[in-house]
Structure 1
């Protein structure tokens, strides 16, 4: 086994935020089994003693691990664990709803991702900066044509803006609001907060308003992305990035994602702004018309001269499936129902929630439409498939030393997105089945994200005892502020070692240890909106 080499590594991993008062409370010991005690930090009193369980050889992490269960502690307060060997865990809270501030921080991160507006000190604190990327963008291949491109969210650690990934992020947030509305009762606040429209909808509107600008005038098709030709330097602040912006060509995947998210928004925003809801639906229908007129559009590839993130996707069947499902759920029109049923017969992943495989959103949308409004055989088949996939994730989690559903080969670039997307799917299974065991497994995934992992690190900036401090995120690098922008979810371990920094420093490490908290490690420590969005969904479930 490859042991950890960090000198100050703690061998007791916990959720560094905390645990719910009445829920399960489990820490993971690595190395030797030990007796342990739980200490109330306010009083210094020992409130619980126990012994860690039998050894598990956990191949993904390269560690021998033991479960330490202290679920018997049910008094609210701040605690830590101490092992008989002198090891001490991170400090954490036990409380009624311990993830409230975390959810707010994860959602507030989208404000920090905003493009085209000044982030003022009132709302951004020390991470304030000037308005950026306010110039018109050039339509690639038509240098004489420039269009308004301002607004939306920066996608990641760079300043590109992408239609498909943006739609995935909005979909996660709107699904969270649809399923767990009470979790969004408290204002963040945002500059637009009005006490009427929930802040999550106000923030999503920022991206939706930008997406309208990505729809090609006159055709309904949607430009794939808006970026400069090349990425700026790592320390370049957004308002200093003045290179020309380009609308990349229309793609079927972007158009399908646009149709899906706009149809979804039309439904969600209707109680708050009927005019805006109609605008969303009209745009969705125009995008669907484009898809119908282009049944075999080629996959997107970066055009010559553009080297920014490609987000290439050769298959658009899943995006069309999601679009049809959302349009049917919103309008009830038979033409969309027929399209859903036809597309569902094709071979693409029906339960994936990634930006490249959006089929899971189509499935969830169809199931949320309700059994009475759907075709019985398809509804039953999709529900059974969803629960079977969730059962598979539960089985994998039970075999994993850190109680998550990732196999060794799943520690890929953006592995934390898999962690969170899997947790989302588990919570969807809970919603449709009523089985709370799925939620318990999803919560184990949140525990992993927040520190109960082999590296004893919180993968969310600004939250936890040992959070990520050096994300690959240009504003965090260039702003001169010691702490990074808070609330950003890091990509997590990548066994492929896809950047120069980790290729030099992490050779031979087990999969779950292939992570570097360094701003040069774009393959393990970059941040994106669509890693934050499923994290908001998961925390919302536990803040109801």
Structure 2
């Protein structure tokens, strides 16, 4: 990746007129002004803070605020050393196109259907992976696994990953429905059900096919036995599809997301909502019958993404919470209480650590006289975690909640998960500081970082151009498929090109925009999904 010659780090998309507006400087500048793009008329002057050393970026930074500037327009910030920022907008809702782009990315990741020019533009492709898949270990047993989303830069489809992504999207819609009033559009757009629910239904319909109709258990994933080459387009990936064995993690995550979906879709399609709930309860029966089931391991002949998990209490906790929330049945409440006594993170929102989804569902159901003690305890834990994140933000040069150790594989998921949690905490502790901190996380994602790079393809003056994403590599289009969040800096340098080129770099600079960097520059559905949640908050009408 070429170094971007810019000394002013800013959100390259822009800032809400009434929101907090900051820039981060890495030069000796003590002041700055803001001018209108085009006319160069100066509309604001400000001072920067004293320099402070930022450990994660390994540099001294200064901050400058300009929240008082509230006139809509497009501007450029110029520091007193003459360094110019990228242009940025001030609008009431500057993230409308970004919001559509982050959601549209899921359409581009659809499997099993032709993406035609009307909706996909120049990034379309033919239908793919439409053949039946064989059930691993059951010779001669073939099932339909058509549909859903490709998980990431590869073409695998993984239940635990899909459940996390759909949960983020459904939560975004449930909490911020006014962010979804505009159509993207999608082939299914009907001006009745919001497009986000049409898109989630694509994945849910696929997940139905992952449930073993004989037992209620859920196959862990549907992939080929090995990853195809990086330039292979979806329709050219013709190796045999394999349903990997049933796992407890997949089955519990499936039960959770189907129970959640049942509540959301009940307004629009009663029959579909009932189908979701029946399948969730069937999966729960499998969980009860297989208490000894452990984490998933790849069969010896399969080398695609494993999505292994050493702790399954959090998946079961989440499933019990969603089933209780949906049905109000005491058997699920009792199970939730039982799992809540186990030791696992109760506020995490990852694909492996899903306890936060259980906690959020339980709290959003509401406090009763019966559950007051547990409710208060979980609420206190959620707010305590938000406060912990806030304290990290206050000591970070870019105002985000990542410490050096958090710049790992998928650091941008950690970033957006934490911004998501800060916004969710507002429901029980409405502190403006949480919103300001969440906004800083979004600013970072969109360019206010030490690399001055927007980590969302197609959005920002300097954005990711070479994601580890097979269609973006294999098509004949120079620009990558837009709206996709890259994994971000990874201090562990877990791929060959990172290890070769980034030795000695600070944590927040341990990133290269290169298609071979699967540990830093891959895209996934569950990196996009928390980003969409956060942008939804700021895109409400």
Q: Which of 145, 158, 165 is equivalent to 1:162?
A: 158
Counterpart for residue 353 of structure 1: 349
Q: What SS does the aligned partner of 2:413 have?
A: helix
TM norm structure 2: 0.99
SS where residue 481 of structure 2 aligns? coil
1:499 aligns with 2:504: no
Query: Which of the numbers 391, 402, 405 marks the counterpart of 1:406?
Result: 402
Whether the 8 Å CA contact 2:411–2:488 is kept in 1: the answer is: yes
Task: Tell whether 2:174 aligns with 1:178.
Answer: yes
Post-superposition offset of 1:6: 5.5
Shift of 1:9: 2.1
Select the residue among 376, 381, 385 that pairs with 1:385.
381
The structure-2 alpha-carbon separation of the partners of 1:112 and 1:292, relative to structure 1 and needing over 3 Å to count, comes to same
CA-to-aligned-CA distance 1:398-446 (integer Å, 9 cap, x gap):
1000100000011000000000000011011112222222111111100
Q: Report if aligned partners of 1:163, 1:224 keep a CA contact under 8 Å in 2.
A: yes
Partner of 1:270: 266
In the other structure, the counterpart of 2:324 is 328
Contact kept? 2:15, 2:94, Cα under 8 Å: yes
Verify the 8 A CA contact 1:402 1:453 in the aligned structure 2: yes
- Distance between the aligned counterparts of 1:436 and 1:152, measured in 2? 38
**Cα distance, 1:140 vs structure 2:** 0.4
Shift of 1:543: 1.0
| Equivalence for 2:539 | 543
Tell me how far 1:372 sits from its aligned partner: 2.6
Identify the residue that residue 58 of structure 1 maps to in structure 2: 54
Instruction: Check conservation: 1:516, 1:524, Cα contact below 8 A.
Output: yes
Counterpart residue number, 1:434: 430
CA contact (8 A) 2:29 2:79 kept: no
Q: Compared with structure 1, are the counterparts of its residues 452 and 207 closer, same or farther at alpha carbon in structure 2 (3 Å cutoff)? A: same
Corresponding residue to 1:24 among 20, 32, 36: 20
Given that residues 227 and 304 in structure 2 are in contact (C-alpha distance below 8 angstroms), is that contact kept between their aligned partners in structure 1? yes
Distance (Å, rounded) in 1 between the aligned partners of 2:355 and 2:124: 38
After the TM superposition, which parts of structure 1 deviate over 6 Å for at least 4 consecutive aligned residues? none
Selected match of 2:186 from 187, 190, 193: 190
CA distance, structure 2, for counterparts of residue 262 and residue 373 of structure 1: 28
Q: Hey, what does 1:366 align to over in structure 2?
A: 362
Match of 2:244 among 234, 244, 248: 248
Separation of aligned partners in 2, 1:435 and 1:516: 36
Matched residue of 2:368: which SS? helix
1:109: which partner in 2? 105
Measured in 2, the distance between the counterparts of 1:459 and 1:391 equals 26
Counterpart for residue 254 of structure 2: 258
Report how far residue 452 of structure 1 moved.
0.3
Query: Matches of 2:228 and 2:370 in 1, distance apart?
Result: 48
Q: 1:216 aligns with which of 212, 218, 222?
A: 212
1:316 equivalent in alignment to 2:276: no
Maintained 8 Å contact 1:228/1:243:
yes
- SS of the residue aligned with 2:441? helix
Q: How far apart in 1 are the matches of 2:230 and 2:444?
A: 29
Unaligned ranges ≥5, structure 2 = none
Cα RMSD of the aligned pairs, angstroms, is: 1.0
